[in-house]
Chain A
């Protein structure tokens, strides 16, 4: 079974530029998550989708971050414009079950490391 795919693996941009990350979850997984992980900290949930609908985006900085999962499969996360403090690893995860099922295992991709100069 293929895992969660993410691209690119690394990205370096200057502040105020735009950037987009792509995630392809495990086939058939209904729920998709985007996390931000700053160096030395645990992942922080940014947004949670169930199929193509947003379940929770309370921690997403909506003035600069946006995400979509149009067909309920792939997802993109965009930052526009980027700030220095956005430097982090952006992780995508998926689960087969419905959003918020505490017994569901989350499968993570390798992440995209973003450096904002």
Chain B
């Protein structure tokens, strides 16, 4: 069972880089790691997905070490609008079902 563990909450200030680490010790060989963002009163929204090493898009970067037992979401120069809950998802078996954990509540302060 690929259960994920993330910090429950994090605080940051505008303009800082924020790194949120997720551990997934039992990740399967074919599993991808996906991160979602959720604002209050909205459904979760896809941010980034990766399999190994590093992935970067216009919003974030995702770092995955060689053993793939953890991953780090990096948000460069956060703003107040990045205040949200961030979820790390890993399928828990070969069926590909996505399990949401509690997520990390990021609070960005001015």
Max chain B C-beta neighbours (<10 A), residue from A56, A93, A99, A102:
A102
Residues in B neighbouring A111, C-beta threshold 8 A: 41-43
Contact B98 A42 (CB under 8 A): no
The interface size bin for chain A is: 20 to 34
Contact A101 B43 (CB under 8 A): no
Q: A42-B101, A45-B98 are in contact. Are A102 and B32 (CB under 8 A)?
A: yes
Contact A108 B96 (CB under 8 A): no
Contact A105 B46 (CB under 8 A): yes
Contact A106 B98 (CB under 8 A): yes
Give which listed residue, A40, A41, A102, A113, contacts B31 with CB less than 8 A. A102
Contact A42 B103 (CB under 8 A): yes
Name A27-80 residues within 8 Å CB distance of B: 35, 40-45, 48, 56
Q: How many interface residues does B have (CB within 8 Å)?
A: 23
Instruction: Tell me whether chain B's interface is mostly helix, strand or loop, or mixed.
Output: loop
Q: How far is the CA of A4 from the CA of B101 in the complex (A)?
A: 23
CB-CB nearest in chain B for A99? B96
Q: Interface digits, B93-110 against A, CB 8 Å rule (1 contact, 0 not)? A: 001111111110000000
Q: A42-B87, A102-B91, A103-B32 are in contact. Are A110 and B41 (CB under 8 A)?
A: yes
Contact B100 A102 (CB under 8 A): no
CB-CB nearest in chain A for B33? A102
Q: Interface digits, A93-117 against B, CB 8 Å rule (1 contact, 0 not)? A: 1000001111101111111010000
Contact A102 B96 (CB under 8 A): yes
What is the interface of chain B, defined by CB distance below 8 A to chain A?
A: 30-32, 34, 36, 41-46, 49, 87, 91, 95-103
User: Given contacts A102-B34, A111-B42, could you give 16 more A-B pairs where the C-beta distance is less than 8 Å?
Assistant: A41-B102, A44-B100, A45-B97, A56-B95, A93-B43, A100-B95, A100-B96, A102-B32, A102-B98, A105-B49, A106-B98, A107-B46, A108-B45, A110-B42, A110-B43, A111-B41
